[in-house]
Amino acid sequence: MDTQTLVETLQLERLEVNLFRGTTADEEARERIYGGQVIAQALLAAYETVEDRVCHSLHCYFIRPGDPAVPIVFDVDRSRDGGSFTTRRVIAVQRGKQIFNLAASFQVAEDGYEHQSEMPDAPRWEDVGDDTERQRVLLKDAPPEARAWLDRPQPIEMRTVGGRMDFTPRAREPVQQLWFRAKDSIGSDPHMHQVILAYASDMSLLGTSVQPHGVSWRTPGFQSASLDHAMWFHQATDFNEWHLYHQESPSASGGRGFNLGSIYRASDGALVASCAQEGLMRMRKPKVG
């Protein structure tokens, strides 16, 4: 799926004033729907009920695995239309059950106090290998299906500093840096840049809390899944430009890992968004008998 296809598949059908339906692209049909897709579609559903205001934060829970084979219905609650802020809540439903919820807040653009954390040092994207290219090399002897999966077009270009953990699961510090951007043009709609950034922000974040433990999603018996996702948009950005996604994990405990992310624009070092996510990370219990 290239970027254009992603933008198209995120489009929703309006069933009623506050009710929308979305689908998953056939070519992305895996075991379960990618979390970033549901975040992006739920945010778009909320935007359909908001005028002239920009999303500055969202908070989500992944409640059940999404099924790529059936549509998702998004039910929007217009919690408040206030003087400065608009609040929305969205429930995503499949087969009569909630798979996901999102709450989000929207604000009229205003000026005010400004400060931001500095962009951390990182090797420039020109000097970091493309994640997919690296995986192709590592998987050169893999079965054809696995290679075909890697060869499919991708909407987001990612370059992880030091390479992704997946294929070299040795213990590392719980800090990860990657450069990312939408691979092809998103167009000029600023909402769509924000929505695609939200889509991409669910990639790799969870991996940071796994790093100190020398495992990855490829480790037999290891189970991981995003539990929640929160995002704060500090300023508008063009996601066709390179951004640094700096990730740290302050905690793992009780079968869960907690991660914080900061997204900086490469061209001027502006902090454009912050993220927080907790994920399940545990070894499956060995079957008895």
Partner 1 sequence: MTDAVQTLVESLQLERLELNLFRGFTPDGMGPRIFGGQVISQSLLAAYETVEERVCHSLHCYFIRPGDPRVPIVFEVDRSRDGGSFTTRRVVAVQHGEQIFNLAASFMAPQEGFEHQSDMPVGPHWSELPDEAEMMAEFIKTAPEEMKKWMGRERPIEMRAQDARDYWRSGPKPPVSQNWFRCRTPIGDDAHMHQVILAYASDMNLLSTGMRPHGVHWQTPGFQSASLDHAMWFHKATDFNQWHLYAHDSPSASGGRGFIRGSIYAEDGTLVASVAQEGLMRMRAAK
Please report how close the Cβ of residue 229 comes to partner 1 at its closest, in angstroms: 10
DSSP string, 210-259: HGGGT--TTSTTEEEEE-EEEEEE-S---TTS-EEEEEEEEEEETTEEEE
Nearer to partner 1, 115 or 140 (CB): 115
Length of the chain: 289
Q: What is the DSSP-derived secondary structure letter of residue 152?
A: S
Which of 20, 9, 57, 44 shows the shortest CA–CA distance to 192? 44
Contact with partner 1 (CB under 8 A) among 109, 124, 133, 146: 109
Please report how close the Cβ of residue 281 comes to partner 1 at its closest, in angstroms: 6
CA distance 73 to 126: 41
Please report how close the Cβ of residue 276 comes to partner 1 at its closest, in angstroms: 5
Contact with partner 1 (CB under 8 A) among 8, 85, 127, 167: 85
CA distance 149 to 138: 14
Q: What is the DSSP-derived secondary structure letter of residue 40?
A: H
Does residue 134 bind partner 1 (CB under 8 A)? no
Cα angle value 48/199/233 (rounded, 5°): 70
Q: The tokens of 13 are what?
A: 């059908």
Please report how close the Cβ of residue 157 comes to partner 1 at its closest, in angstroms: 25
Q: Is 277 a catalytic residue?
A: yes
CA distance 245 to 160: 9
Does residue 103 bind partner 1 (CB under 8 A)? yes
Does residue 255 bind partner 1 (CB under 8 A)? yes
Please report how close the Cβ of residue 216 comes to partner 1 at its closest, in angstroms: 13
Interaction pattern, residues 172-191, with partner 1; x per rule: CB under 8 A: --x-----------------
Does residue 232 bind partner 1 (CB under 8 A)? yes
Residues 6+ apart with CB under 8 A from 112: none
Contact with partner 1 (CB under 8 A) among 21, 32, 89, 147: 89
Contact with partner 1 (CB under 8 A) among 21, 32, 53, 59: 59
Which of 70, 36, 14, 19 shows the shortest CA–CA distance to 199? 36
Contact 265, 237 (CB under 8 A): yes
Of 94, 135, 177, 226, the active-site residue reads: 226
What is residue 276's three-state secondary structure? Answer: strand
Q: Which stretch binds partner 1 (CB under 8 A): 3-11, 29-37, 155-163, 242-250?
A: 242-250
Q: Is 226 a catalytic residue?
A: yes
Contact with partner 1 (CB under 8 A) among 3, 24, 94, 101: 101
Active site residues: 202, 226, 277
Where does this chain bind partner 1 (CB under 8 A)? 56-57, 59-61, 63-64, 79-80, 82, 84-85, 87, 89, 97-98, 101, 103, 105, 107, 109-117, 174, 209-210, 212-213, 227-228, 230, 232, 234-235, 248-258, 260, 262, 271, 274, 276, 278, 280-283
